A and B are shown apart, each in its own frame.
Chain A
Amino acid sequence: MTGDVLVTGIGVVSGFGLGVDAFWDGLVAARDACVPAGIPEAPDARVARVEGLEARRWVRSAQGRRIDRTSLLALAAARLALDDAGTAPEALQSSRTALALGSAFGNVQETAAFLDRIFDRGTGNPMLFPNLVMNAPLSYAAIELGTTGPSAMVTEQDASGEAAIAWGARQVAAGGADVCLAGAADELATELLTIGRETRTASDAEPCVGEGAAVLVLESAARARERAARCYARLVPHAGFGVAAPVHGWPAEPSELARGLAPLVADVSLIVAAASGEPVLDELEAEVLALALAGRRAALTAPRRAIGRFGAGGALAVAAAALAIRHGMVPPIMGWPAARTRGLDVVTGAARPASVRDVLVDGLARGGVCRPLRLEAA
């Protein structure tokens, strides 16, 4: 690691709408993007859909006409991020621009459609197949934006966004790229609603499943200075660590995660958590942060409750952290009783004005993964 990595642009598409302002305004106003799903398969399910995402607004190439929704979410966020950074795609030096995208599940809907045709007719649809590979969003974004530097599709369950952003930041820090578009996307598939339904107990609240994408423009300090770019924050990636946990679930025991996170939360004023409303995670994370903070005070928030939970949600948590620094404001979380009962400083109700200088996104994920990222006022 050598140079500083700055966040100079943010693009978000979420249940709050298109663009970083819609996202931030929704969070700060404590709105809930979740609405009844209105589908027979899951009558009481709630979802946070991205509305009004039309391919023709974001796609320029002929190949892009067949783009899938996950790739489109990522592409829209990437274009919005470049706009926000005041950089046209044509202004990027292609071989010095990296691309890092994360997704937990990729293209679920077209995968199901492809399988239906295989079982009905015995053959695959050649037009759909290119969209089914996990790296389709990466490929479409590179073609649309003309980036030819290093690229990676990273998948790490709930921390897919944090993992992709960390990879991208390392490319810039190590000098392999001047700019990296880094973020994550996941689509809302009807199939995803069944997960919560199959695993929750009767007393649990109905979970809200969301979709969306966030992409950050990560830029070397030298390039940002040269073009007098506006800067949200400095991004300090962490290599991440693992702890003992069920392969498919959350660790039963908080102490290892707390030990790993303790040095990272020692001086931050805000923690953007994974807390999604999933009871097991909300309990565990509250316990982990209480142990890691050991009585220290830091504000806690998380966007996943408002925009629904989805694998790429961590990228939107990173966006929220950068925006909190920029605006001097901590958006509220829509309740997190497990954290409140442990005496943690959970920001609820209304947004809280605060001078936010150092933030940790804790990056917890199933399977015992922790992919934390730190953001600092630049």
Chain B
Amino acid sequence: MRQVAVTGLGAVTALGADVAALAAGLADGRSPLGPLTRFVHGGRCQLAAEVPELAPPAAAFGALRTATIRRLSRPDRLALITIEQALREAGLKPPELAGAGLFVGATVGGMGETEEAYRRHRAGEDRRYRLSRLLGTPLSTSASAAAQAFGIYGPRATFSTACSSSALAIAEAAAAVASATVPAAIAVGTDALCRITFAGFDALQTLDPQGCRPFDRDRAGLTLGEGAAALVLEDIEHARARGARVIARVLGHATTTDAHHVTAPDPEGQAALGALRGALDAAALPPEAVDYVNAHGTGTRQNDEAEVRVLRAVFGDRLPRIPVSSTKAQLGHCLGAAGAVEAVVTVLALDGSLLPATATLREPDPAWSDLDLVPAAGRRQPLEVALTSSYGFGGHNVTLVLGRGV
């Protein structure tokens, strides 16, 4: 098996248009949450972690036809922007990209655009509305657009396991590199806010109108976010041979399924525990090796409770000494993009010796007042190994173990 290096990062989040803005925001702990502006929502929650309008990805758009660009959805554009950033940092060029893998995690694709077209059609504002616009642009369009824009013609797949979609995409990219199927692979997560997810989560009463407070005593739900993140994964020898910097390493990953409930996590967290232990086993590391946990930490009562139970089962009495934080407090829950966004956050933590904060935490739940949840702002601390877990709606768990670059 080959070692898997991370050689490029890209991110567009509510904290800013690139990885540098994300890193700066994580360090100062500021909250970018604000009023929902992308569409009118009639429910009780009006708060979101929106990405502001961005400059188009120049290189990607230069390679696509105008008619194609016009049909791209917001998640497609976000994906192209972050891939462009990640490829620039990695320094991978078209000949090397032709054989690279491309693995995308997403949940909504062009749904936001479809909703707006459907609304206009219903309101009589658009008689030429065509449903084929939706059905001709399925969820896999981001992958198709990225493949054609950057000339990435190796293995390609799009995964959709709700909130763990892009963590699964990273696991697949890492597996393709480790097994020598490809020398390099790009893993991407991308999702945008849309009416269906906003109204759906609000109807399930899982949104906190005051903004999410992961691990807080008064936590009352999640805040929806949007964004995209991309990671270039590469055979470490391939990276070294071309003089690329190894920002971090993917040491292990595992995926399991709750088989418990279509919306709620298994309160016992048995399968989530299996993913965490499986990822450490795959990395051939004991729990003692872990210096930081980037939690799924949605801020719902059920998730945080089940997640702490899993962490206690794995780390036992040592857990209070391992910093655990949820960056959803700042970034919102980016759904299909969350796994990739949080993997980038975890890589930044390892590379910059910076523990990201659980920024909105005021009073930890008494059940875990013994834990180091990194309240308020980021904290400097050298880290060697960190893990990030993603638990998808419907019971799809993925844990990634990441190591500092060498």
A interface vs B, CB < 8 Å? 1, 63, 94-95, 99, 104-106, 108, 111-112, 114-115, 118-119, 121-126, 129-136, 138-140, 142-143, 145-157, 160, 163, 167, 170, 174, 191-192, 194-195, 198-199, 239-248, 311, 366-369
Contact = CB atoms under 8 A, between A and B. Distances in A.
Tell me if A's interface is mostly helix, strand, loop or mixed: mixed
Contacts of B71: 247-248
Contacts of B95: none
Tell me if B's interface is mostly helix, strand, loop or mixed: mixed
B262 interface: yes
Interface string B110-150: 00000100110010000000111011111111011101100
Contacts of A155: 138-140, 158-160
Interface stretch (B27-35, B196-204, B241-249, B315-323): B196-204
B43 A122 contact: yes
7 contacts: A134-B139, A148-B258, A156-B140, A195-B136, A239-B181, A247-B141, A369-B156
B162 A125 contact: no
Given A124-B196, A155-B158, A239-B155, A194 B147 contact: no
Interface string B49-68: 00000000000000011001
Interface size class, chain B? 35 or more
Contact of A241 (B155, B168, B195, B202): B155
Given A143-B261, A152-B161, A118 B138 contact: no
A135 B157 contact: no
Interface stretch (B8-16, B214-222, B339-347, B391-399): B391-399
Interface of B: 42-43, 64-65, 68, 71-72, 101-102, 107, 115, 118-119, 122, 130-132, 134-141, 143-145, 147-148, 151-162, 168, 172, 175-176, 179, 181-182, 195-196, 199-205, 254-263, 270-271, 274, 392-396
**Which 5 pairs across A and B sit closest by C-beta, in order of nearness?**
A122-B42, A367-B144, A124-B199, A139-B394, A129-B200
Contacts of A368: 144, 147-148, 153
Contacts of A94: 259
Contacts of B395: 139, 142-143
A135 B394 contact: yes
A365 to B, nearest CB: 8
Given A132-B200, A143-B261, A149-B256, 8 more contacts: A105-B135, A114-B196, A133-B160, A143-B395, A150-B254, A151-B161, A152-B161, A248-B144
B168 A152 contact: yes
A199 B136 CA distance: 10
Q: Which residue, A122, A126, A135, A191, has most C-beta atoms of chain B within 10 A? A: A135
Contacts of A247: 64, 68, 71-72, 141, 144-145, 148
Contact of B257 (A115, A148, A367): A148
Contact of A138 (B135, B156, B157, B161): B161
A130 B262 contact: yes
A105 B257 contact: no
Contacts of A167: 157, 172
A181 to B, nearest CB: 11
Nearest to A129: B200
Contacts of B181: 239
Contact of B148 (A105, A123, A192, A244): A244
A240 B144 contact: no
A366 B153 CA distance: 14
A92 to B, nearest CB: 11
Contact of B132 (A99, A145, A198, A311): A198
A151 B255 contact: yes
A194 B393 CA distance: 31
B130 A133 contact: no
A154 B159 contact: yes
B102 to A, nearest CB: 8
Contacts of B42: 118, 121-123
